[in-house]
Structure 1
Amino acid sequence: MTAEKTSYVVLGGTSGIGAELAKQLESEGTIVYVASRKTGLDISDEQSVYHYFETIGTFDHLIITAGSYAPAGKVVDVDVSQAKHAFDTKFWGAINAAKHGARYIKKGGSITLTSGILSRKVVANTYVKTAINAAIEATTKVLAKELAPIRVNAVSPGLTKTEAYQGMNEDDRNAMYESTQNSLPVGKVGEASEVAKAYLLLIQNTYMTGAVIDVDGGALLG
């Protein structure tokens, strides 16, 4: 009798950290479902999320890496409708996924969310991303209690080299990487493959729930 395959759902898995994680999860003993806006799933649309999980059925682990965009700027300057749109995708999208995905997660399964260092590193002109990430981390702990025995954790990445910065001018992007590299104790900018390993730890370690793992090169050390 062949062993049952372990199944994973990676939302936001067509680019960046999510795509790298999906690649690391792929093996003969796994099934990896990948979805994002590129595949037609809008996680800010609750009905869309509900139907997506309905089509998949039961699975083992849910990972949400979708929705990294948020408008930058001071509270007095940022368009509130843009701020709400960012919340709809990253925060409410994660809630939609946890709410409807939890019903299909098998015994021993887990949910892993994604926050970011701005949840606890105070930087001017970043209130939208800061608030979203802080909300995700606080909610992770509540979900870990509410959804038990499903384990719920979060990964909080620092600056990571992904396609998210492709739209930037190349000189500006390189300057950002160099500035970050010089300020971090590890002396380098993170790679998606390094951040993906934190998700693997949370998925595989059955003694972890309600945890937030920082993968930021020491950025929170000040």
Structure 2
Amino acid sequence: MKTEQTTYVVIGGTSGIGAAVAKQLEGENSIVHVASRQTGLDISDEQAVYHYFESIGAFDHLIITAGSSAPGGKVVDVDTTEAKAAFDTKFWGAVNAAKHGARYIKQGGSITLTSGMLSRKVVANTYVKTAMNAALEATTKVLAKELAPIRVNAVSPGLTNTEAYQGMADDARQAMLAGAQQSLPVGKVGEASDLAMAYLLPIQNTYMTGAIIDVDGGALLN
């Protein structure tokens, strides 16, 4: 007897962690829909998100890994317009996806968001990322109550070696990665494949909701 197919939607799935998650989910009994700016979906546009899920129809699991480039610097120095633009994608975009995707999720389905270790690790000059990630983690728990029995969880990555850092000068990027490797308890920098495994847990574990899953190499211990 043929097993019923499971349908996944991965928002932010064309690069980095999202692409690794989509690859993990591929299989004979899986349908994986991948969307991002590269495929023409801007999740900061609520109407676009609404119509995207309308085009997909019923599905089982939603994974949101879409991020944004957040300005660094002291609170008194950061341009507020740039900070709001970062929120529009990572925070409000995730809210848009959860809000409109939830209408189509089948019984037993789940939503997995992506925050980041700066939600709970105090680092100067990172207030925009800190605020976005903390807001996402708090919203994850609210959604877990409001959307039940849909399960809602979040994965909180630490520093991960992905295309997100390609805009940095090569020397600066290598120094950052080397410094992290030395300081992290695990003695290595995370790869997209390391993080992808973490997304499988809240999808497959039907007793898990409202959880924040830290995959940071021990960064929060330092």
**TM-score (norm: length of structure 1):** 0.99
* Matching residue's letter, 1:87: F
Per the alignment, residue 119 of structure 2 pairs with: 119
Q: Superposition pairs for residues 180-195 of structure 1, below 5 Å?
A: 180-195=180-195
Alignment pair present for 1:106 and 2:96: no
CA distance in 2, matches of 1:198, 1:31: 20
Which of structure 1's runs of 4+ aligned residues deviate more than 3 A? none
Q: Secondary structure at the match of 1:83?
A: helix
Two-structure CA RMSD over aligned residues (Å):
0.7
Q: Superposition pairs for residues 4-19 of structure 1, below 5 Å?
A: 4-19=4-19
* Matching residue's letter, 1:181: Q
CA distance in 2, matches of 1:53, 1:217: 34
Q: Superposition pairs for residues 33-112 of structure 1, below 5 Å?
A: 33-112=33-112
Alignment pair present for 1:208 and 2:211: no
User: Per-residue CA shift, 1:149-183, capped at 9, x if unaligned?
Assistant: 00000000000010001111111110000101111
* Matching residue's letter, 2:158: G
Alignment pair present for 1:198 and 2:198: yes
CA distance in 2, matches of 1:98, 1:117: 21
Give the gaps of 5 or more residues in structure 1: none
CA distance in 1, matches of 2:69, 2:30: 30
Q: What is the CA-CA distance between 1:3 and the residue it aligns to?
A: 2.4
Q: Secondary structure at the match of 1:107?
A: strand
CA distance in 1, matches of 2:125, 2:196: 28
Q: What is the CA-CA distance between 1:2 and the residue it aligns to?
A: 2.8
Q: Superposition pairs for residues 141-180 of structure 1, below 5 Å?
A: 141-180=141-180
CA distance in 1, matches of 2:154, 2:67: 14
Q: What is the CA-CA distance between 1:67 and the residue it aligns to?
A: 1.6
CA distance in 1, matches of 2:157, 2:17: 10
CA distance in 2, matches of 1:69, 1:196: 21
Q: Secondary structure at the match of 1:10?
A: strand
Q: Secondary structure at the match of 1:154?
A: strand
CA distance in 2, matches of 1:66, 1:122: 23
**TM-score (norm: length of structure 2):** 0.99
Give the percent of matched residue pairs that are identical in Structure 1 and Structure 2. 81
CA distance in 1, matches of 2:73, 2:178: 22
